[in-house]
Structure 1
Amino acid sequence: MTEPLHPRPQLTRASWTDLCGTWQFAYDDENRGVKERWFSRKEPFGREITVPFPPESAASGIDDPAYHPVVWYRRTFTVTPEDRAGRLLLHFGAVDYRAQVWVNGQLVARHEGGHAPFTADLTSVLTEDEEQVVTVRAEDDPRDLAQPRGKQGWKPGPHAIWYHRTTGIWQPVWLERVPGTYIRSLRLTPDLDRSALHVQVTLNEAPRGELRLRVRLFLRGERLASDLYELNGAELSRDIALDQGRLVRDHREILWSPRHPNLVDVEVTLLRGEEVLDDVRSYTGLRSALIRDGHFLLNHSPFYPKLVLAQNYWPESHLAAPSEEAIRREVELVKELGFNGVRIHQKVEDPRFLYWCDRLGLLVWGEAANAYTFTPESQERLTREWLEVLRRDHNHPCIVTWVPLNESWGVPNLERDPAQRDFVRAMYHLTKALDPSRPAIGNDGWQLVAGDILGIHDYTPEGKTLLERYGTREAVERTLTSVQPGHYPLLPASRVRAGEPVMLTEFGGISFAPSQGERWWGYGTVQDEEAFLTKYAELVGAVLDCEGIAGFCYTQLTDTEQESNGLLHADRRPKMNPARLRAINGGYPRSMPAEFLIETHLAAESRDDEVRR
């Protein structure tokens, strides 16, 4: 039997306990649970739920999509003498939206933000008994539009482009045994210009006595580096030198890319003398992602992103993936359709999804779930959660662009309100300050206030119109200033162009014509599979033929509720032959005339490798 994938693949230990499965459950529609101390009682919990599936979903066993702004969870777990030897941590992958956690009736954690993880140290609240009790209260007000919510609807049911809600626990919960002084975080940043890997390790506390840290790097079992450092505080920051000649000579075997997703395994060990106190495993991909001369560059070479918009929403489990297998299969499906990347839309994905993107080779644009109103509270909420997301996902090589805001979501008056434009600029610059290793876009789609890429949303149904708007660089400049493909102008009057690449980051949206009485939302319909493929080839072919376009993102991967404009059905069955879609997506972009030569040489090198093997 295959061992389950660690819920946090970027920082793993051998000892952890999965707490997903059956929990006791209760609604608290009158919000009286705290006053009545449900956190220290058993009798209010008259139902059962399967964690980590939200109660609105069928997979949870509850299957109730009605308004329930407060929900409670309860379960027991056992502790061993080994668990008491150091510290015992309780981790939550994500709880939407506001969480409180008690263990044995003692409050151990509060957290706000429905897409970011948090941890509680249980050491001081464990009783002498073997059995312990954990209770969770989650509050998720469906009508609070200042709350970052993404595509979760505020009406009783799905409407327009919004779906059923995801309340409460929706990512894994697990226990982890650690020593008294342990490795709390690990930040890995490749620097190809300097042939180095920057490593930043943070402990939970300043070391007591003399401690050392050993960092070892391995590529497919071969040791690349082994360094030993003395610790003078809770944080260590070092550059590990890599073989520059080898990075150049053997780049296909060492650097990370969608075609060659090479991963470097990282072992970090905390030592007191020769005694191992803590030992964690991680990985990185040696790659660079930057913008230059109107192109996106991967490993310093022009690269044309062919992305697909992914809601990553399942009918039976909503934002939570129905299984580990479904997570991996989602990545495989994107690649089988001929895309080299995915734009996760209005959702911060499960780290296990990012793991498979890292391992199988798929670019990711990381996006926040947005609010819908502009208030001091909505700004604070989004900023806090975005900081946690940047921290959690920094190490994933698959993530090549950050997008904190979509269109004008949460900033509905960009044209007339300087404060809203300042907020977009602030989110862009904050992102770049915390992670200068990747491109970032302040807001994507229209009214593009700040960003390294100009991402345009244009759902015109005609390929000839796309060519008119973006076929030449002159046409692109004219479109940016004079054409309004959607609801708002593309550029605010104050925006000065600085050579940013232009990408069509939402287009297409083709769907089959709905039958009588069928709910539908989309951007254009066709009657059958052949008509779909013809229209798809027309639109994608036109985009690839646009000299002024440096990449695209097609809408969208799967049908999602009433949005039936996916390339796959909601259950992930293809609507048409994937090989035909892959062939269309495999066309060469006019904006990168060297693409054909690059692909030809890569194919020749791959054949040489097969012959040698």
Structure 2
Amino acid sequence: MMNVKKMCVVILAILLTSAINIRAQIPRSEHPRPQFERNEWANLNGEWTYTFDFSESGLERGLFNSEGFDAKIVVPFCPESKLSGVGYKDFINNIWYHRKIEIPEGWDGKNIKLNFGAVYYTAEVYIDGKFVLRHFGGSTSFSADITSFVEAGKKHNLVVYAHSDLRSANQGAGKQNLQCKSYGCNYTRTTGIWQTVWLEAIDQKGLQSAQVITDIDQSKIIIHPRFYSESGNNLNITILEKGRKIGKTTVKANNSSIAIIPVKKAKLWSPENPFLYDVVYEVTDEKGQVLDKVQSYLGMRKVHIEGNKIYLNNKPFYHRLVLDQGFYPEGIWTAPSDEDLIEDIKLSMAAGFNGARLHQKVFEERFYYHADRLGYITWGEAASWGMDCNSEITARNFLSEWEDIVVRDRNHPSLLVWTPMNEAWWPDQVQYPRFVTDLYEMAKNLDPTRPVNTVSGGVHIVTDIYTVHDYEQDGKRLKNILYNEKGEFKQTPNHINHGKNMNIGFNGLAHSLQFDFPKYTGGQPYLIDEFGGIKWTVDQQKNKGGSWGYGNAPKTLDELYTRLESQVDAILSLKDQVWGYCYTQLTDVEQEQNGIYFYDRTTKFDMNKIKAIFSKTPETK
């Protein structure tokens, strides 16, 4: 007869195996917020039901009361994607989702948060037919407190309604198609839920957020916590170095509290040594009982600008970036697995890049987590293409979304530069300057620790970094365009529109001549953060216009390597004028076939030759 000890071991093994099997059945089952992780959470990814609502009559038909729709979809993959099980590629203006949720009995007495990584574009949340929350913004995370709508141990109907009006020009589209089919550098759309959905149990007086600033010059960590409810409780913060406690402090659990923790012999985060400290936050009552516990991490590093250079940890840091659009053949905006996020970073580093401009998409937090771990520099960007940047409605929509982006990601050490917009080329003289200035000031107020590249390759109004785009294919000509013999820098195309024939004035008066767009005159970093884009298909000679890229395609691989090296060498030779670059792009994306890798991430070129080119620095060139 089996003794009690052996029986316990067998039962534990069965439970563990069952948990692993359940986890394996859930797509994207890993915790979506590695920098703010609690033990009590439940992943809601997997099979939901859905229905399209092309007539936009769902509210009238009471779809928010649904107990299940006829069709099935796999969350968190968008309905346009193969992995969703739907694969509908045409415009989807309205979609309704449903699934049953059950709150564990052990969560009774706690606040229940329903979290969404991202839903494109406007989301409405209902529990058992009751309206819970509305959220605007297709790229940002949000939460709904559903405590008053649910009971522990009972099942409830969760309904999510997503609406998108991509062609309105009032919302950021990024690289999503504004036409029916993909064309040029615009690709398959993403609608509805496209990042992880999860439940979380939190004490009513728990920790809501923590802004972390690392001061390497004084070897201190500064943390500003925020709580769901202020109280007489304490917040204990512990800093660990590979499991060893190296710092601890206690502050009152109030939003006015600031925790300052000295760190002796601090290990700095850098691409060469991406060291991360573990952080444990614990809210305790007057008896010392832990009410809320959050696991986190941080990297001690500093980024700043002096003159025309960007510095990392007080040393000049030259950016050798690649444009990463974050598209996947089967998942569109959503990586099929956590391993795919890691693989993209490793592929970029294997090609010789030290980081990426995360282009026209807000990447999920786990991408930043892996970049933090692997020592991979990132520039954080928003999905701004498709917007009318002269519209006050657009500004209203985008500013609130931009605020959420900065607040969500500002603690990641790998993120060095903010880039809210890309290639805004048709500005007016009134609303556009106001909009761009607001974006800049918002970023600096929310996060004063990073430089802002306000409009990459577009019309700069106020910016810390001046960036230009140029796809000239000949290296010598590219060099002369960027900085010619007369000592003149290439300017962003701020001459395209000077407000002529536009009613942009106050009380009907034209103000088109009252504002002069600024030009680059030196004194700040100047980068070419888009260049290259050399087209190369599977069979270059047989291609008959089915692909898209920049310039005339080279006839041979040797010609491609020579052209590429001439472009990189030209930029590196301007080290006193141009402080870094971003090559277009990491992978092919659908019909745009100018990546370093194919769309499925398989090898496209001789990677030894590619790495030798992109590993060059101004010193080694």
The verdict on a shared fold, with TM-score over 0.5 as the criterion, is yes
Taking the aligned partners of 2:92 and 2:277, their CA distance within structure 1 comes to: 45
Q: Give the Å deviation of 1:128.
A: 6.7
The residue that corresponds to 1:360 in the other structure is 374
Cα displacement (A) at 1:80: 2.1
> Partner residue of 2:313?
299
What is residue 606 of structure 1 aligned with on the other side?
none
**In the superposition, relative to structure 1, how do residues 122 and 235 fare at CA in structure 2: closer, same or farther (>3 Å)?**
farther
Contact 2:420/2:453 (<8 A) preserved: yes
CA drift of 1:493 comes to 4.7
8 A Cα contact 2:91 2:180, kept in partner: yes
1:168 aligns with 2:178: no
Query: Within the alignment, does 1:66 sit opposite 2:98 as a pair?
Result: no
Structure 1 residues 214-245: Cα deviation after superposition (integer angstroms, max 9, x where no partner): 001112222220111233x34422222222xx
3-state DSSP of counterpart to 1:143: helix
SS in 2 for 1:343: strand
Which of 451, 455, 480 aligns to 2:463? It is: 451
Aligned 1:464-503 pairs, distance under 5 A: 464-470=476-482, 477-480=487-490, 493-495=517-519, 497=521, 499-503=523-527
Alignment check: 8 A CA contact 1:305 1:551 kept: yes
Aligned counterpart for 2:302 among listed residues 288, 293, 298:
288
Which residue type is aligned with residue 34 of structure 2? P
Give distance in 1, aligned partners of 2:165 and 2:564.
Answer: 40
Q: Which residue type is aligned with residue 33 of structure 1?
A: G
| SS of aligned partner of 2:107 | helix
Matched, 1:212 2:234: yes
Give 1:480's aligned amino acid.
K
**Alignment match, 1:552:** 581
Asked whether the equivalents of residues 301 and 313 of structure 2 are also in contact (C-alpha less than 8 Å), the reply is: yes
Q: Is the 8 A contact 2:372 2:413 kept in 1?
A: yes
Q: Could you say which residue in structure 2 is the equivalent of 1:257?
A: 270
Worse-matched range after superposition: 122-131 or 430-439? 122-131
C-alpha deviation, 1:104, in angstroms: 1.8
Partner Cα separation in structure 2 for residue 354 and residue 549 of structure 1: 27
Does the C-alpha gap of structure 1 residues 346 and 340 become closer, same or farther in structure 2, counting only changes over 3 Å?
Answer: same
Q: Deviations over 1:199-226 (max 9, x none)?
A: 011111122xx31110011122222201
How far is the alpha carbon of 1:39 from its aligned partner? 1.7
TM-aligned CA deviation for residue 12 of structure 1? 0.3
CA distance in 2, matches of 1:202, 1:407: 36
In the alignment, the residues of structure 2 paired with residue 221 and residue 137 of structure 1 have an alpha-carbon distance, to the nearest angstrom, of 44
Pair 1:332–1:496, CA change in 2 (3 A): closer
Which AA in structure 1 matches 2:179?
K
Structure 2 unmatched ranges of 5 or more? 1-19, 499-514
From 438, 444, 466, give the equivalent of 1:432. Answer: 444
Structure 1 pair 551/170, CA: closer, same or farther in 2 (3 Å)? same
Kindly indicate whether the alpha-carbon contact (under 8 Å) linking 1:529 and 1:575 is maintained by their aligned counterparts in 2: no
Give 1:425 shift. 2.2
Q: What one-letter code is carried by the residue in structure 2 that aligns with 1:479? A: F
The answer as to 2:192 corresponding to 1:186 is no
One-letter code of the match for 2:84? Answer: S
Is 1:533 the counterpart of 2:556? The answer is no
Q: Give the residue type in structure 1 aligned to 2:488.
A: R
Aligned to 2:507: none
2:258 aligns with 237
Q: Deviations over 1:493-543 (max 9, x none)?
A: 544635111111000000126544552221121234333222211211221
**Deviates most, 389-398 or 325-334:** 325-334
Q: Residue 492 of structure 1: CA displacement? A: 6.1
How many angstroms does 1:134 deviate by?
0.7
In the alignment, what sits opposite 2:387?
A: 372
SS in 2 for 1:479: coil
Retained in 1: the 8 A contact 2:66–2:98? no
Q: What CA RMSD, in Å, does the superposition of the two structures yield over aligned residues?
A: 2.2
Amino acid at match of 2:159: T
Check whether the contact 1:101–1:110 (CA below 8 A) recurs between aligned residues: yes
Identity %: 33
Cα pair 2:251 2:259 within 8 Å, conserved = no
1:133 aligned counterpart, secondary structure: strand
Q: Contact (CA 8 Å) 2:45, 2:198: kept in 1 or not?
A: yes
Q: Which amino acid aligns with 2:560?
A: F
Q: Residue 263 of structure 2 aligns to which amino acid in structure 1?
A: L
**Equivalent in 403, 420, 424 of residue 387 of structure 1:** 403
Q: Is the 8 A contact 1:446 1:488 kept in 2?
A: no
Could you state the TM-score of these two structures normalised by the residue count of structure 2? 0.88
Letter paired with 1:333: L
What residue is the counterpart of 1:599 in the other structure? none
1:385 deviation in Å?
0.1
Is 2:33–2:365's contact at 8 Å kept on the other side of the alignment?
Answer: yes
Query: Is residue 88–residue 175 contact of structure 1 (8 Å, CA) maintained in 2?
Result: yes
